[in-house]
Amino acid sequence: MADDIDIQQHIKGLIDEEHGLRSRLSAGEISVEEENARLRSLEVELDQCWDLLRQRRAKREFGEDPAEAAVRDERTVENYRG
């Protein structure tokens, strides 16, 4: 992901996919299990994207290169909640 705009567009795509999953479940096209499995994956990816945006903004704010920000692993971003 090259810049903030790309990350934001990716986030929008993930949110659109989430809405699509809910619609497909309502239409009976997928099972609850299929929806839940993909939703879990989407949540992790969304958390990683939001974390990356926060890192980039913090680096920019403190005069560092935002390109040095990196996607953190699932364990790291998911443990922020606890």
Given this model, what pLDDT does residue 81 score? 58
Query: How much is the average pLDDT of 50-61?
Result: 96
pTM of the model: 0.86
Query: How much is the average pLDDT of 10-36?
Result: 96
- Whether 38 has a pLDDT exceeding 80, the answer reads yes
**Is 66 in contact with 60 (CB distance < 8 Å)?**
yes
Distances (CA, A) of 19 to 10, 56, 65: 14, 27, 34
- Whether 1 has a pLDDT exceeding 70, the answer reads no
Of 15, 18, 14, the closest CA to residue 36 belongs to 18
Instruction: Name the residue range of residue 49's domain.
Output: 4-78
In the chain, how many domains are there?
1
Given this model, what pLDDT does residue 79 score? 81
- Whether 27 has a pLDDT exceeding 80, the answer reads yes
